[in-house]
């Protein structure tokens, strides 16, 4: 399934909905599940409201934590919406894209970790500074932890931080963790993956370089914005995450093109490393790092105010954001 | 006030309580507030339970988010417990330390940021590697973001991570953010501070050095454990956070001694930096970084299995942890 979170335009209160993409429509899963429970005679109106609120919550971390219970409920709801006749004149189960605003599919992961898994990217980025790839890169899947308070979704504006002169995008994809675990081997790691999404790790290159020179890694150079979306695609729909075409366009012009198969390490190997003596938890986000030539830094280019950055990955959709001056 | 979170021994279900330290006792604030509401005739039994559950929640982030409402309720509850006669034979409002186990006073901050604010520490740590302090350190309050899934409290065992040969403590104190904000000036920053606690930023030095060489900062070198506690002291009880005596003892022997006044930057300046173009939120934890000579690395010493590490800071208490082999 392809899960989204969305707001309905002109609908109040402005509470997020959990949705699934069905052809060119977005299905409101909670309403569909409530009607399914009623029509199947499983419980009464009060209970169907309570249970659908809980199972098809738009809090994506809680939805993932609910595990198979919520996934099964989502499948029931989607089937119900597909086959539903117009028996419910006062209910609306599906929306056109024009009627809604997509939100980031997950906004409250406990941890957002971002890796550096593409050899070509680190080679190119280091070469720009006259440096080689550090031999330790081949030994350790290095990462920094991102900021979970600044996650943006598809079509959200990204505000240019006051402190930078050099804003950049990074073409990445992310794996979403499906359940809690510790000391997970790479062989078992697939069980811990919920799905995948596109990630744009926006970067303020001037301050990032300064911060990395002090040794604690990037902070203000990254923490103002990470875009995720447009949806989370469950892993069953991505049989091979290591052969995805990855493209970045700026104002419609192609700047970057790569393939996820050039990752030096798999997410399964990354999960083994991260979970060594330390828990990973449902909803955690693991970013792949930038694909080779997947950012302006490697191309000698920079973003400008009002640029529209569009990342497209096969099977995962298109994630588009505009850069705005605050 | 000095807020703690605790479990009552031999009491089920094992739900955390929110407490306040009163002389040598711990007050159960929720029960005290419930009885206060009843005795004052403000609401009935059902409502007093609901409202005290909400206002004196042991979820510290939610407690802080509740702002003055919860702080006032806590003050009422503490006053009530102080003056309460034994009118309630079936209620227990105060506990001896022997009856409880303290928990970390906050376990679910959205962000845990740790700085490098003591010049002597970075000088000593760099010198060990034959390096000078990078000039950019004087320009930028560098930090890394810690792991919020591995926060431990007073008397919690710390498990030695399988992947390290060199475990260390770091003697720090932390500021807890009291409300959400963005673009806060240092002059206004005090309004955003809730209180202070002791922090032990446990470190696996061998992997930390390797990770920092790759440029993304420490990850596995830090993420297995951070200890916070024993309590959060509200800022009104710490009139000058920049004159606190800081001591670390290992197995009762003093290893480190310093003073918070040697910080190169104040938390107020740090808040200005972090909140530039980026929100800080209630419950966020900002670590000071290690005071000069406040870790084994600077002393040429390492921790061993079964060592007991005790950090003491004037006004904030003692935070004690034992290192255990898993």
Per-residue pLDDT reduced to its tens digit, B207-222: 999 999 999 999 999 9
* Residue among B213, B278, B281 minimizing CB distance to A224: B278
Query: B132 to chain A, minimum CA–CA distance in Å?
Result: 11
Q: What is the pLDDT of residue B318?
A: 98
pLDDT reported for residue A55: 98
The torsion defined by the Cα of B149, A148, A172 and B221, in degrees rounded to 10, comes to: -40
Residue A85 predicted with pLDDT over 70? no
Q: Which residue of B has its CA nearest to A181?
A: B149
A241: closest CA of chain B, how far (Å):
25
Give the pLDDT mean for A123-141: 93
Percent of chain A exceeding pLDDT 90 equals 95
Q: Contacts of residue A285 in chain B, CB cutoff 8 Å?
A: none
% of chain A with per-residue pLDDT over 70: 99
ipTM above 0.90, yes or no: yes
Residue from A217, A222, A224 to probe the interface with B (highest B Cβ count within 10 Å)? A217
Q: What is the reported pLDDT for B59?
A: 98
For testing contact with chain B, the best of A203, A219, A286 (most B CBs within 10 A): A219
Residues in chain B with pLDDT values less than 50: none
**Would you place residue A86 in the very low, low, confident or very high pLDDT band (cuts 50, 70, 90)?**
low
Q: Select the residue of A142, A145, A159 nearest B145 (Cβ to Cβ).
A: A145
Distance between CA B75 and CA B89 in Å, rounded? Answer: 23
Residues in chain B within 8 Å Cβ distance of A163: 276-277
pLDDT at residue A326 in the model: 86
Locate A234 and state its tokens.
């469950």
Q: Band the pLDDT of A59: cuts 50, 70, 90.
A: very high
Per-residue pLDDT band at A229 (split at 50, 70, 90): very high
Reported as a single tens digit per residue, the pLDDT across A248-271 is 999 999 999 999 999 999 999 999
User: Which pLDDT value is given to residue A88?
Assistant: 78
- pLDDT for A84: 81
pLDDT at res. B84: 81
The CA distance from A227 to A231, in Å, is 11
- Residues of A within 8 A of B159 (CB-CB) are 277
Q: How confident is the model at residue A223 (pLDDT cuts 50, 70, 90)?
A: very high
Record: contact A137-B163, CB cut-off 8 A: no
pTM for the full predicted model: 0.96
Q: Shortest Cα distance from B287 to chain A (angstroms)?
A: 13
CA distance A284 to chain B (A): 11
The answer to whether residues A149 and A170 touch, using CB atoms and an 8 Å cutoff, is no
pLDDT above 80: residue A89: no
- C-alpha distances in Å from residue B193, one per residue of A40, A55, A281, B189, B283: 53, 37, 29, 7, 9
pLDDT the model gives residue B89: 76
The answer to whether A270 and A93 have CB atoms below 8 angstroms apart is: no
């Amino acid at each position: 399934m392809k899960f989204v979170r969305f707001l309905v335009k002109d609908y109040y209160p402005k509470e997020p909905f959990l949705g699934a993409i069905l052809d060119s429509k977005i299905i409101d899963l909670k309403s569909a599940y409530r009607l399914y429970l009623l029509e199947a005679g499983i419980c009464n109106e009060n209970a169907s409201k309570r249970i659908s609120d809980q199972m098809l919550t738009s809090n994506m971390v809680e939805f993932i934590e609910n595990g198979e219970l919520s996934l099964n409920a989502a499948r029931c709801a989607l089937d119900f919406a597909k086959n539903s006749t117009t028996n419910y004149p006062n209910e609306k189960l599906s929306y056109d894209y024009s009627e809604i605003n997509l939100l980031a599919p997950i906004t409250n992961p406990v941890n957002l970790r971002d890796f550096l898994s593409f050899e070509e990217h680190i080679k190119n980025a280091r070469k720009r500074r006259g440096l080689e790839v550090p031999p330790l890169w081949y030994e350790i899947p290095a990462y920094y932890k991102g900021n979970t308070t600044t996650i943006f979704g598809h079509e959200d504006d990204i505000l240019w931080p006051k402190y930078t002169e050099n804003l950049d995008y990074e073409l990445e994809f992310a794996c979403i963790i499906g359940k809690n675990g510790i000391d997970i081997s790479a062989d078992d790691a697939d069980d811990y993956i919920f799905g995948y999404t596109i990630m744009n790790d926006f970067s303020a290159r001037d301050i990032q370089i300064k911060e990395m020179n002090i040794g604690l890694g990037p902070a203000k150079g990254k923490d103002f914005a990470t875009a995720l979306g447009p949806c989370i695609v469950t892993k069953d729909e991505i049989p091979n995450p290591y052969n995805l075409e990855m493209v970045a366009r700026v104002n419609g012009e192609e700047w970057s093109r790569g393939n996820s198969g050039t990752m030096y390490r798999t997410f399964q190997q990354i999960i083994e490393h991260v979970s060594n003596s330390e828990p990973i938890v449902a909803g955690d986000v693991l970013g792949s790092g930038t694909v080779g030539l997947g950012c302006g830094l490697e191309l000698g280019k920079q973003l400008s105010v009002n640029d529209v950055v569009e990342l497209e990955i096969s099977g995962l959709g298109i994630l588009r954001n505009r850069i705005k001056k605050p």
